[in-house]
Chains A and B, each alone.
Chain A
Amino acid sequence: MKIVVTVKQIPDPNGVQRLGTDNRLVRDGEVVLDPGDEYGVEAALRIKEAAGEGEVVLVSMGPAKAADAIRKGLSMGADRAIHISDDALAGADALTTAQVLAAAIKGESADLVICGTESTDGSTGMVPPMLAELLGVPQLTFAKSVEAGGGKVKIQRQTEVGYDVVEAATPALLTVTAAVGEPRYASLKGIMAARSKEVKKLGLGDLGVSRGTAAEEILEVVDAEQRQAGEVFEDDGTAVDKILALLVKVKAV
């Protein structure tokens, strides 16, 4: 069983996020492996362990710094990685990202491709379905649990009301939620081992992909209207009365 996991480095979500003069997210501060992708790596490792054999390959598109995020995934236990880095890709939109990832993944002939449901920074949620389309495979998305083996994959797909049971023959693309299992910590052994694991570096030229014109163009970024703060009280025993009075006022009671 060969499993590709897409991983992305993102600005530390606990840090301060800001936009540059080009109105794009500034990515020069602390970066981390997208927490959503940690679940992808974890899901892949569990599938490999359950199968008793296989290979987990990380694929990432991002600047030189993405190497840290890749290393984190390798420390968790992934076997090797492919890192696509090219100055021409700065500010790439979802379609370009999906095209680049597809070109890199095609040669791997993976049984499964696993992604997070959406990145924590961009949150467009578009790369996984686009990638599935470009790879010509079905997509089994928002998986809260995954069973894979015998040329098939079956998931519980999270829905607004519960879940669907969805099954497909492999190859297939999955997106996984936090419910697939808490990502493991990298052990000291894992961190040491990651240093000698292969990270293949590729540029756009190696993939035969050229950057098209983006469909979308940022005209301007403005401050959104903010809610005004109301009254804040320390609870001195009158909290219930105050809340009830407001509920009555707005006719909720």
Chain B
Amino acid sequence: MAKIWIYAELSEGKLAPISLELLAKARALGGEVEAVALGKGAEAAATILGKHGAKKVYVCDDSVFDEYVAQPATDTMEALVKANSPDLLLFGFSLDSREVAGRLSARLGIGQVSSAVDVEAGGGGFTARVSYFGGSKIAKMKVNQKPAIVLIRPKSFEAAEVGGSAEVEQVKATVGADSKRAHRLERVAEKGDKVKLEDAAIVVSGGRGMQGPENFPLLEELADALGGAVGASRAVVDAGWVPYSMQVGQTGKAVRPNVYIAAGISGAMQHTVGMKASKVIIAINKDAEAPILKMADLGIVGDALKILPKLTEAVKAKKGG
């Protein structure tokens, strides 16, 4: 039976959602499913990982992994991989995990498949699916090595609790003398405790068509009325209108809410790859030729600045009545 490992990502003592998504896939692949949790909160995370199907969790509850970027985790992963020989090693394609995956891959002198959306077993190995050209093409890539290292984009699978508990194996931090170098001095959160974009059931996003940052409150008001979160296209993040934490797309966050409302977003592949898994897409754009209208369940050719305030009022009225 293939030994499948997932790299559980911890941030500020909390398990990143991608870790549980990876477990759902690992379970479906039907191997011996195990996880590695490094950093503050690893012990508590093991319980959650067990409930999501991990049979065993290698745990190291040590703050060295939080204090220093990538290198201590790479050193410890290298030691664990060499001692336990997993067949498949799944990482999230997230900012923190990909750094460790890249370093580990170079350390072991083996390649990896990055930015994949799926992975399947067969032919005595694993095949990853990678989406190209904004998700219009899927390449099937065979990984010819052990361990096969595959990085999966967030929101590719749905996490599911199946009950159960994991055997916990305490491991020690293996950290090279020269690995405490990229020192994380401080973590700064830019947004309050509103609904998190990647977890929101409703996302209201704005692009260039919003004309300027001064009009983003129109999106926030609608999102508040719907109990959702506000997102943005890369163009407006690059222009400095809103912070990167709001960016949806290839180089931003992946979301799959029940409803995605795109206001003044043209629908470049860079953006749509991050939101096309939404259940219902509503697009408002002045340009009748905008690509976003071709993928929306409901497309409105019109001015978002005029429609949004009226829609907010209508939603409030409906909820009130």
Q: Please, which residues of chain A bring their CB within 8 A of the CB of B201?
A: 252
In the complex, the answer to whether B106 meets A215 with C-beta atoms within 8 Å is: no
Stretch at the interface among B45-53, B80-88, B127-135, B164-172: B127-135
In the complex, the answer to whether A244 meets B318 with C-beta atoms within 8 Å is: yes
Stretch at the interface among A46-54, A103-111, A167-175, A191-199: A167-175
Contact of B103 among A129, A162, A214 (CB under 8 A): A129
Say yes or no: A224-B135 contact (C-beta < 8 A), given A126-B105, A167-B183, A235-B301.
Answer: yes
Say yes or no: A253-B145 contact (C-beta < 8 A), given A95-B106, A126-B101.
Answer: no
In the complex, the answer to whether B245 meets A221 with C-beta atoms within 8 Å is: no
In the complex, the answer to whether B244 meets A144 with C-beta atoms within 8 Å is: yes
Q: Please, which residues of chain B bring their CB within 8 A of the CB of A246?
A: 280, 282, 297-298
Say yes or no: A243-B184 contact (C-beta < 8 A), given A126-B101, A215-B111.
Answer: no
Smallest Cβ-Cβ distance to A117: which chain B residue:
B251
In the complex, the answer to whether B300 meets A242 with C-beta atoms within 8 Å is: yes
CA gap between A28 and B315 in the complex, in Å: 52
Q: B281 to chain A: closest CB distance in Å?
A: 7
In the complex, the answer to whether B111 meets A166 with C-beta atoms within 8 Å is: no
- What 3 pairs across the A-B complex have the smallest Cβ distances? A235-B302, A129-B102, A215-B111
Q: Is B1 interfacial (CB-CB < 8 Å)?
A: no
CA gap between A138 and B181 in the complex, in Å: 6
Q: Is A125 interfacial (CB-CB < 8 Å)?
A: yes
CA gap between A244 and B110 in the complex, in Å: 52
Find residues 84-128 in chain A having any chain B CB closer than 8 Å to their own CB: 93-95, 98, 117-118, 123-128
CA gap between A124 and B190 in the complex, in Å: 27
CA gap between A225 and B115 in the complex, in Å: 18
In the complex, the answer to whether B102 meets A130 with C-beta atoms within 8 Å is: yes
Contact of A166 among B141, B182, B243 (CB under 8 A): B182
Find residues 169-211 in chain B having any chain A CB closer than 8 Å to their own CB: 178, 181-191, 198, 201-202
Q: State the B residues within 8 Å of A (CB).
A: 11, 69-71, 74, 93-95, 98-103, 105-107, 109-115, 127-128, 131-133, 135-145, 151, 178, 181-191, 198, 201-202, 226, 237-238, 240, 243-245, 250-251, 253, 258-259, 261, 276, 279-282, 284, 288, 293-303, 307, 310-311, 314-315, 318-319
CA gap between A66 and B56 in the complex, in Å: 48
Chain B interface mostly: mixed
Stretch at the interface among A1-9, A56-64, A67-75, A226-234: A226-234
In the complex, the answer to whether A229 meets B243 with C-beta atoms within 8 Å is: no
Q: Is A247 interfacial (CB-CB < 8 Å)?
A: yes
Other A-B contacts than A125-B102, A239-B311, 5 sampled, CB-CB below 8 A, are A138-B70, A161-B189, A162-B188, A240-B310, A250-B280
Q: B152 to chain A: closest CB distance in Å?
A: 13
In the complex, the answer to whether A133 meets B184 with C-beta atoms within 8 Å is: no
In the complex, the answer to whether A164 meets B187 with C-beta atoms within 8 Å is: yes
CA gap between A162 and B82 in the complex, in Å: 35
Say yes or no: A125-B114 contact (C-beta < 8 A), given A95-B106, A134-B106.
Answer: yes
Say yes or no: A129-B70 contact (C-beta < 8 A), given A95-B110, A234-B302.
Answer: yes
Q: Please, which residues of chain A bring their CB within 8 A of the CB of B245?
A: 159-162
In the complex, the answer to whether A164 meets B74 with C-beta atoms within 8 Å is: no
CA gap between A150 and B141 in the complex, in Å: 46
CA gap between A125 and B252 in the complex, in Å: 13
In the complex, the answer to whether A133 meets B106 with C-beta atoms within 8 Å is: yes
CA gap between A168 and B68 in the complex, in Å: 10
Bin the interface of chain A by size.
35 or more
Some 28 contacts from A to B, beta carbons below 8 A apart, are A95-B111, A124-B114, A126-B98, A126-B102, A129-B101, A130-B102, A130-B103, A142-B95, A160-B95, A161-B190, A161-B245, A168-B181, A172-B181, A215-B110, A215-B143, A215-B145, A217-B144, A224-B136, A229-B296, A230-B296, A231-B297, A235-B300, A235-B301, A235-B303, A239-B302, A239-B311, A243-B300, A246-B280
Chain A interface mostly: mixed
In the complex, the answer to whether B115 meets A230 with C-beta atoms within 8 Å is: no
Q: Is A248 interfacial (CB-CB < 8 Å)?
A: yes
Q: Is A206 interfacial (CB-CB < 8 Å)?
A: no
In the complex, the answer to whether A217 meets B141 with C-beta atoms within 8 Å is: yes
Q: Please, which residues of chain A bring their CB within 8 A of the CB of B115?
A: 123-125
In the complex, the answer to whether A216 meets B113 with C-beta atoms within 8 Å is: yes
Smallest Cβ-Cβ distance to B259: which chain A residue:
A252
Q: Please, which residues of chain A bring their CB within 8 A of the CB of B127?
A: 219
CA gap between A252 and B318 in the complex, in Å: 11
In the complex, the answer to whether A219 meets B140 with C-beta atoms within 8 Å is: yes
In the complex, the answer to whether B182 meets A139 with C-beta atoms within 8 Å is: yes
Q: Please, which residues of chain A bring their CB within 8 A of the CB of B185?
A: 164-167
In the complex, the answer to whether A253 meets B226 with C-beta atoms within 8 Å is: yes
Contact of B318 among A93, A118, A253 (CB under 8 A): A253
Q: Please, which residues of chain A bring their CB within 8 A of the CB of B307?
A: 235, 239-240, 243
